[in-house]
């Protein structure tokens, strides 16, 4: 192989390593971008919806307690606005099913909430304070906790999925960086070897040839330089040897 091809090959190898590393890093970074978007779109939206539901539930619970304490109108108003917020958040969660089995969690919330909401239509009336408290503790509170637990489960599910996605992101970031590091280190090692070869097979023979020519000019002894490779340097050495032989004859 000719020197030109060898040098070209060396640079092509360097370029290939870096190009591949770059291409893969870009590919992985694009995936990271998509994963981050998915993280926000899928899991974070559901988590926000779950938080809204829990907040709405707390407000409904307060509204019910207001009604039981005689502030009927104020309690009704609180429950009505919280119910709207809850149903809105539940719809958001229902439209954002991105994890296996998430529909079951949403359905569980819907069913439990239906049972819970039925209680507000006929809040205990006419009973004494003790009776109202008993009704609240035996009927309302367990159902409230049921719904809250179901919402919490949905939130946990999305939290776990978010953690998994974050782990995947961490791995992707690692995979995006590593080819670059490997390419840089390999390119460094390759450059050292390349430089060594250029010295051994290009620079050193040229220096030897120059010395031999100088020696020829001083002593008129024939130029004999051994070149291992079969490239332009080899041809040059042969030509110089022929040239000096001819020069000796003509002298």
Interaction site with another protein (CB under 8 A): 1, 6, 9-10, 13, 16-17, 20-21, 24, 171, 174-175, 178-179, 182-183, 186, 189-190, 193-194, 196-197, 200-201, 228-230
**Which phi-psi region, left, alpha or beta, contains residue 48 (left: φ > 0; alpha: ψ -120 to 50)?**
alpha
Nearer to another protein, 77 or 164 (CB): 164
Instruction: Output the six-digit token pair for 86.
Output: 């809850």
**What one-character DSSP code corresponds to residue 220?**
-
Shortest distance, position 160 Cβ to another protein, whole Å: 17
If you count them, how many residues does the chain have? 251
- Please give the Cα distance from 50 to 15 (Å, whole number): 51
Shortest distance, position 202 Cβ to another protein, whole Å: 10
**Which residue has tokens 């024939």?**
222
Nearer to another protein, 33 or 70 (CB): 33
Nearer to another protein, 10 or 94 (CB): 10
Nearer to another protein, 8 or 137 (CB): 8
Shortest distance, position 59 Cβ to another protein, whole Å: 44
Instruction: Output the six-digit token pair for 226.
Output: 């051994």
Shortest distance, position 32 Cβ to another protein, whole Å: 13
Nearer to another protein, 137 or 184 (CB): 184
Shortest distance, position 62 Cβ to another protein, whole Å: 47
What are the residue ranges of helices labelled H in the chain?
Answer: 3-38, 45-68, 72-94, 102-121, 129-135, 141-198, 204-219, 232-250
Report CA-CA distances (Å) from 51 to 54, 85, 93, 106, 152.
Answer: 5, 11, 11, 14, 8
């Amino acid at each position: 192989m000719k020197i030109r091809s060898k040098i070209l090959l060396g640079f092509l190898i360097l370029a290939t390593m870096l190009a591949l590393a770059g291409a893969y890093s870009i590919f992985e970074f694009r995936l990271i971008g998509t994963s981050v978007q998915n993280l926000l779109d899928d899991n974070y939206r559901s988590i926000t919806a779950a938080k809204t539901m829990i907040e709405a539930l707390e407000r409904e619970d307060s509204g019910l307690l207001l009604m039981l304490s005689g502030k009927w109108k104020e309690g009704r108003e609180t429950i009505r606005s919280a119910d709207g917020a809850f149903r809105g958040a539940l719809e958001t969660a229902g439209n954002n099913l991105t994890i296996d089995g998430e529909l079951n969690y949403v359905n569980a919330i819907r069913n439990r909430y239906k049972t819970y909401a039925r209680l507000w239509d006929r809040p205990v009336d006419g009973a004494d304070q003790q009776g109202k408290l008993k009704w609240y503790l035996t009927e309302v509170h367990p159902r409230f906790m049921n719904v809250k637990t179901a919402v919490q489960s949905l939130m946990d599910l999305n939290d776990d999925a978010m953690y998994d996605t974050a782990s995947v992101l961490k791995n992707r970031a690692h995979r995006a960086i590593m080819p670059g590091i490997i390419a840089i280190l390999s390119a460094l090692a390759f450059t050292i070897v390349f430089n060594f070869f250029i010295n051994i097979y290009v620079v050193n023979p040229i220096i030897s040839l120059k010395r031999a020519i100088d020696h020829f000019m001083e002593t008129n002894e024939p130029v004999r330089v051994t070149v291992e490779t079969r490239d332009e340097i080899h041809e040059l050495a042969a030509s110089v040897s022929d040239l000096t032989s001819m020069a000796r004859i003509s002298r």
